[in-house]
Amino acid sequence: MNTREKIDRAANTTLLCLHKEGIFYKLYNQQAMLFTQNIKPLKINVEFVKVVDQQVYSCGFPATIIEDVKNRLASPAEKDGGIALTNIEKQIVAFQVMRKTPMEAMNFIVELQRQLNGKQEC
């Protein structure tokens, strides 16, 4: 699988795509961010990749801890029958920040703040 395909798959945040590379499993872009925030804190690496002409974010972990990762993934599903996301959380997950301009990202944040402030006033 080439880099473009990995990045395209990373845009789908409904399915976690772990890519086995040597003795490591790696995640890219949106999936890397979600993984480090919700499953296991890892260092995010950033590098410009000429083939795709963009910054690529990635994180990885050794294949030896895959069972621990599987257990962490299974835990919320066993307890709650899945993770329920609010409307705002769904918007954040679906927002493809790597494909947006800084202005589009700022406008997205402003809209989220407007939605949150509207909820607090009710």
Residue 28 · residue 20 · CB < 8 Å: no
Examine the domain organization and report whether 10 and 54 are in the same domain.
yes
What is the tens place of the pLDDT at every residue in 27-86? Answer: 999 999 989 988 889 999 999 999 999 999 999 999 999 998 888 877 654 444 455 567
Examine the domain organization and report whether 52 and 22 are in the same domain.
yes
Taking CA atoms, 2 is separated from 37, 51, 70, in Å, by: 26, 10, 25
Distance CA 118, CA 91 (A): 16
Examine the domain organization and report whether 36 and 93 are in the same domain.
no
pTM of the model: 0.60
Structural tokens at position 49: 């990749």
| Domain count across the chain | 2
